[in-house]
Amino acid sequence: MEIRTLTPVAPRPGVVSRILPFSCVDGPGSRLVVFFQGCNMDCPGCHNPQTIGQCNHCGDCIEHCPNDALSLDRGSGQRKRRLCDESQCQSCDLCLPHCPRSGNPNAVSFGVASLVERIARHAPLLDGVTFSGGEATLQRQFLVRLCDALDREACTTHLGRLIDSNGLLAAGHWPALLERVDGVMLDIKGMDSAIHKRLTGRDNQQVLASARLLAQAGKLAELRWLVVEGVNDGDDELTALIELYHSLPNPPALRLNRYQHHGVGERGQSMAETTSERMEALYRQLSEAGVTLLPLVRL
Amino acid sequence: MSQIEQLQQAVLGHITNPNLTLPQKQLALAQLAESLLPRNPYGEEVEQAFERGILHDMFESQSPFKPRYVLPDYAKAMAQGSEFLELAPPQDLDEALNFLSILYLNVPSVTGYPVFLGHLDQLLEPFVEGVSDSALEKALTLFWQRLDRTLPDSFVHANLGPQDSRVGRMILKVDAKLAQSVPNLTFRYQEGVTPDDLLRRVTDNIIACNKPHVANHEAIDAEFDQGYGVVSCYNALPLGGGSHTLLRLNLMRSFELCDGSEQDYIDNVVPHCSELMASALTHRIRFLVEESGFFDHHFLCKEGLVSLDRFTAMFGIYGLAELVNQLMDAQGMPGRYGLDREATALGERIVAAYRRQVDHLEMIHCEGGLMRLHSQSGISCDKEETAGTRIPVGSEPDPLSHILACAPMHQYFDGGISDIFGLDPTIRHNPGALERLVSGGFGMGLKMFTANLSDNDLVRVTGYMVKRSDIDKFRHQAERHNSTCLGAEAVDVVKILERQARVVSQEQHPVSLWK
């Protein structure tokens, strides 16, 4: 009997919400940030909620593009595919409010080679790349292949690599990523599981486990706490956070971020913005408790 | 009203203007007189080109009696003293600072103030042995104040580097501490010569007060036989010489001369405009060198501190973005200069074509018989044209993409070019990012790196500085600095302070300066 080899399935592309060629706030030095599409949390306070949803090709967004960049490609039967023509897209983001799943109609699929090429173009002006989103680790297989390709390319091999993560990745999947990146910047949204669920839609067990795993591996580059005044900044939360910090081997610096409404969807508007006074007070309290903090961004 | 009555009214207006200090009033009167020189017309074609706005004379007269920019060889002056100024060669730091301060008051330029103060660290370093850090800091602080108070014009420009020195580091410290708009400052950086921690000091200063510019020393020095200085805004010119004049070509307007195609523009318009420029430049330079007597009588020339054979002239261009966008429109293409690769590449081809012209057009009384190509940073009357080869104000992309788009232009300009990169204040927390942009940018051929953080009190206008606080003062009473009134005009005309990375193209324009 003839054995037919199956046609190998092409590796899945990465789905990217946006590439920011220059950032000085997503890790040390000059960095390019890749915001991957799709997240497994659903934070009401997310400041780029269009990175949360995954497109299901419903086509509701198509007619709202003023530049004819969006189209619905119809295949056989019920098959439809939303397409965004990058050459027409002006990144005006007028399509965003029309996605019922908090997705991004102008998200783009990248093969590894084309994303490497995009990064290579900017490489002489970069210290590193940060993988964010959305939740970058949802596309971990793509990330692995991407990192390997960046290593192989002469002009990108020197670039530092960091992942920005919500920490929901299971323990078994971290090692493959950790051997390919310099570190992970991790968000702790809440210590109490009820508070965490309110702020993210998910439980925090896995997040805390990831914090410990990353710290153990010496790959926890930064711990971040988004302070939502009146929600996750009570005494119990603070105590628990300090305890967590001191329990970690090789604890990294803690970055305090102030909750603001900029970019936040309707759900998040009901939570008040955190005041600078609260930030200063928390900064003092945490410092006194022996936590190493990054300077507060006072602007 | 007769012409003489008009003139009298103008004089009265200047002397009673509450916004002008006394020296500024006197300068205004002198410039008014200069504007009344008997006509010394250019040829007919050139006169028409001026009228159509294709050429712009930078408000320089047709009969200039002093060069636009002068770069005295200060090291030579300090070694031999000055007969005219009755000064012996300085022997210690006090004498050196005194010598330079006096000499500066006697260096002419288009603004009336020296546009070049010398490579200060190289000039002063020999005098600091045995001087303590605190004494050095005090001496340089007083010197820096003296510069700002006696030469109140931020086109006055000092250079440092590329080598390390006590004086260089102390000047950086003093400059950041005082945060004055005068003097303008450039650090000439060279990888391998400038230590890394000194580059860090430079970038820290930029973050603190938007100064200094950083010059790619290796790249610029290669274009000069005997050294160069960075002067005025950011012009690179021969040391011990200077530039007779600057004339600029309005690329936006030059589009009118072509049939809408790139081919016609490059084949016909480029040579035609270049010839017009050369004719006008020849006219002015001839008067300056052959009739005004500057080079025969001025003490700087007689004492060998500047010499005619180290002079050049600047062929300036501006409005490249608008020219490119018009050409793109004519072809029905949507790409925009600086933002789309096709459009930016077209811009580069045009610049290369002008470069070829400048390489071959002979110019009288210029070093090597050639002019230098200069990316001119504009004047406050430029409502529609973007400065030089820059990306239009308000549509600049992120700093990285900005550098990528603009770096390829720099190789063509041997008379000075600069883009201003607007930086978000968050870079304060990540100074390493700025270092990377500087060194990476130079690696890509950038010749000058100029940055502007949006929230500093010192705001970069083109290549010079004004203080926001001074602008408010200017509105209500006389303010010391000549350049502030330009800044104030920029604030009103182009709302410079309301837009983050917005920069206004300006340069001194004597006659219309004082309103």
**Bridge partner residues of B71 (DSSP):** B241
Q: How far apart are CA A258 and CA B46, in angstroms?
A: 61
Residue B507, pLDDT above cutoff 60: no
The token duo for A7 is 């046609």
Residue A248's domain is classified under what CATH number? 3.20.20.70
Which of residues B39 and A179 earns the better pLDDT score? A179
Chain B residue whose CA is closest to A28: B430
Name residue, tokens 């010197």: B143
Q: Which two tokens stand for residue B91?
A: 């022997």
**Paired tokens of B497:** 């302070």
Is the CB of B443 less than 8 angstroms away from the CB of A28? no
For residue range A179-227, what is the model confidence (pLDDT) as tens digits? 999 999 999 999 999 999 999 999 999 999 999 999 999 999 999 999 9
CA distances from A233 to A1, A166, A212, B358 (A): 68, 19, 22, 66
- Together in a domain, A36 and A96: no
Arithmetic mean of pLDDT, A68-88: 87
Question: Which pLDDT value is given to residue B476?
Answer: 61
Q: Which of A46, A77, A100 is the last residue of a domain?
A: A100
Q: Is residue A147 situated within a structural domain?
A: yes
What six digits make up the tokens of B487? Answer: 């800044």
Structure confidence at residue B395 as a pLDDT band (50, 70, 90) = confident
Considering only the beta carbons, identify the residue of A122, A124, A297 that sits closest to B426. A297
Residue A188 lies in a domain: yes
Scored b (16 or more CB within 10 A) or e, B31-49 reads: bbebeeeeeeebeeebeeb
Interface test with A, best of B430, B444, B446, B453 (most A CBs within 10 A): B430
Q: Which of B116, B104, B373, B355 is nearest to B241 (CA)?
A: B116
Task: State both tokens at A147.
Answer: 């990192």
Together in a domain, A43 and A28 = yes
- Distance CA(B469)–CA(B125), nearest Å, equals 34
Query: Among A18, A87, A125, which would you mutate to test the B interface (most chain B Cβ atoms within 10 Å of its Cβ)?
Result: A125
Residue A42: both structure tokens together: 């659903």
Across the interface, of B398, B429, B444, the residue whose CB is closest to A22 is B398
* Residue A122 near chain B (CB below 8 Å): yes
Interface with chain B: mutation pick from A19, A22, A297, highest number of B CBs within 10 Å: A22
- Tell me the pLDDT tens digit for each residue of B218-252: 999 999 999 999 999 889 999 999 999 999 999 99
Which residue from B144, B214, B231 is spatially nearest to B180, judged by alpha carbons?
B144
> B120 — alpha (psi -120 to 50), left (phi > 0) or beta?
alpha
A residues 123-182 closer than 8 Å to B (CB): 124-127
Q: What is the mean pLDDT of residues A80-105?
A: 90
Q: What is the pLDDT of residue B462?
A: 59
| Residue B480 identity | R
Under an 8 A CB cutoff, do A299 and B425 touch? yes
Q: How does pLDDT run across B354-371, given as a tens digit for each residue?
A: 999 999 999 999 999 999
Mean pLDDT of chain A: 93
Question: Is residue A48 a part of any domain in this protein?
Answer: yes
* Neighbouring C-alpha atoms within 13 Å toward the C-beta of A70: 25
- Among left, alpha and beta (phi > 0; psi -120 to 50; other), residue B393 is beta
Residue A183 in any domain: the answer is: yes
Length of chain A: 299
Tell me the CATH number at A67: 3.30.70.20
Could you tell me if residue A30 is inside a domain?
Answer: yes
Of residues B490 and A58, more confidence is placed in: A58
Q: Give the Cα-Cα-Cα angle B181, B219, B100 (nearest 5 degrees).
A: 40
What residues of B are in contact with residue A31 (Cβ under 8 Å)?
433
Among B426, B427, B436, the residue with its CB nearest the CB of A125 is B436
Query: Which residue from A54, A47, A21, A211 is spatially nearest to A123, judged by alpha carbons?
Result: A21
Closest Cα to residue A207, out of A231, A187, A226?
A: A187
pLDDT of residue B479: 63
For an interface test with A, which of B216, B342, B423, B429 has the most A Cβ atoms less than 10 Å from its Cβ? B429
Least confident span in A125-129, B91-95, B478-482: B478-482
**Do A92 and A175 lie in a common domain?**
no
Domain check: are A271 and A178 in the same one? yes
């989103």: which residue's tokens? Answer: A133
Tens digits of per-residue pLDDT, A41-67? 999 999 899 999 999 999 999 999 999
Residues A120 and A151 grouped into a single domain: yes
The answer to the question of residue A6 being in a domain is: no
Clarify whether residues A208 and A128 are in a common domain: yes
With cut-offs at 50, 70 and 90, classify the pLDDT of residue B481.
low
Per-residue model confidence (pLDDT) at position A29: 93
**CA-CA distances (angstroms) from residue B148 to A86, A151, B177, B460, B483?**
52, 52, 14, 17, 12
Amino acid B93: pLDDT: 98
Amino acid letter, residue B370: L
Chain A residues in contact with B397 by the CB 8 A cut-off are 21
- The reported pLDDT for the residue numbered B53 is 94
Average pLDDT of A86-111? Answer: 90
Q: Are strands A183-188 and B311-318 parallel, antiparallel or unpaired?
A: unpaired
Among B87, B110, B84, B107, smallest CA distance to B97 is for B87
pLDDT at B153: 85
Task: Give yes or no for residue B475 having a pLDDT over 80.
Answer: no
Residue B493 has pLDDT above 60, yes or no: no
Query: Which amino acid does the sequence have at B170?
Result: M
**Main-chain dihedrals φ then ψ at residue B148, nearest 5 degrees:** -65, -35
What's the confidence (pLDDT) of residue B482?
64
Give the tens place of pLDDT for each residue, B282-331.
999 999 999 999 999 999 999 999 999 999 999 999 999 999 999 999 99
- Amino acid A84 reads C
The tokens for A252 are: 């990294």
pLDDT of residue A91: 83
Is it the case that residue B495 has pLDDT exceeding 70? no
Q: What per-residue confidence (pLDDT) applies to B264? A: 97
Residue where a domain terminates, one of A100, A133, A162: A100
Residues A95 and A121 in one domain: no
Contact B433 A24 (CB under 8 A): yes
Q: Looking at this protein, which amino acid is placed at residue B148?
A: D
**Mean predicted confidence (pLDDT) in A10-32:** 92
Same domain, A36 and A79: no
Average pLDDT of chain B to the nearest whole number: 89
In this prediction, residue B501 has a pLDDT band, given cuts at 50, 70 and 90, of very low
ipTM: 0.83
Q: What domain range is A72 assigned to?
A: 56-100
Residues A236 and A208 in one domain: yes
- What are the pLDDT digits (tens) for B402-454? 999 999 999 999 999 999 898 988 898 899 999 999 999 999 999 999 998 88
- Euclidean distance between CA atoms B412 and A292, whole angstroms: 50
Q: How many domains does chain A have?
A: 2
Task: Give the count of Cβ contacts less than 8 A between chain A and B.
Answer: 65
In angstroms, the CA B380 to CA B489 distance is: 7
Confidence of residue B515 (pLDDT cuts 50, 70, 90): very low
pLDDT higher than 50, residue A126 = yes
Q: Are residues A171 and A279 in the same domain?
A: yes
Distance CA A86, CA B257 (A): 35
Range with top average pLDDT, A265-274, B90-99, B497-506: B90-99
Residues in chain B: 515
- Same domain for A162 and A69: no
Residue A146 lies inside a defined structural domain of this protein: yes
A5 is a domain residue: no
Interface of chain B toward chain A, CB-CB under 8 angstroms:
397-401, 403-404, 424-427, 429-430, 432-434, 436-437, 440-441, 443-444, 455
Does residue A86 share a domain with residue A169? no
- Closest-CA distance, B142 to chain A, in angstroms, reads 33
Supply A29's token pair: 């030095």
Alpha-carbon radius of gyration of chain B:
22
β-pairing verdict for A220-227 and B184-189? unpaired
CA terminus-to-terminus distance, chain B: 20
Report the C-alpha gap between B173 and B169 in whole angstroms: 6
B109 pLDDT more than 80 = yes
